[in-house]
Amino acid sequence: MSTTPSVLFVCVHNAGRSQMAAGFLTALAGDRIEVRSAGSAPADQVNPAAVEAMAEVGIDISAENPKILTVDAVQASDVVITMGCGDTCPIFPGKSYRDWVLEDPAGQGIDAVRPIRDEIKTKVEALIAELTTEPAAR
C-alpha cells in the first residue's frame, strides 16, 4: 500500500508560518507529500515579509491566499501541524497532531522573519524525513 501522506499546516491567519511551511514542504517534498494550509481566522493576504523571506531562498508563495480552516481539510489530512492556534484548532481522533512553537511573523520586518523561516525549514526537513521513510520496527 503506497498512499501519499498528507499534511495540513494551521495557524490563526494562514498568512505567515503556515504559508512558509507549506511552501517549503511543497518545494522540498514535491509530489511525495500532499500539502494543505489553513487558518482559523484567515488574513486578507499572505504576509509580505513572509513572501520576501521565502523569495530569498527561491520559493515563490506570492500567489497563495489565506484559507479558512475547514473540517474537511483536517479530515483529509494524515498529519495536522498547528502553529499557535491553541483551542481554535479542531481535534479529530485518528489524526497525528504536532504543535510547532514558532514566533508569529505578523507585523514584523524581514530581519525578524528570516530566523522564523529558517526554523520552519529545519522542522519541515525533519518532517519529510519522518514521512517518507519506512517506520523502523519498535
CA pair distance 54, 74, nearest whole angstrom? 25
Contacts of 132 (CB under 8 A, 6+ apart): 5, 29, 32, 33
55 counts as catalytic: no
10, 20, 80, 85: which is the annotated catalytic residue? Answer: 85
Which of 25, 49, 61, 89 is labelled catalytic? 89
CA dist., res. 5 & res. 42, Å (int): 25
C-alpha span between 88 and 39 (Å, rounded): 9
Annotated active-site residue 62? The verdict is no
7, 10, 11, 20: the catalytic one is 11
Query: Taking Cα atoms as reference points, which of 122, 23, 28, 128 lies closest to residue 79?
Result: 128
Tell me if residue 27 is catalytic. Answer: no
Positions marked catalytic: 11, 85, 89
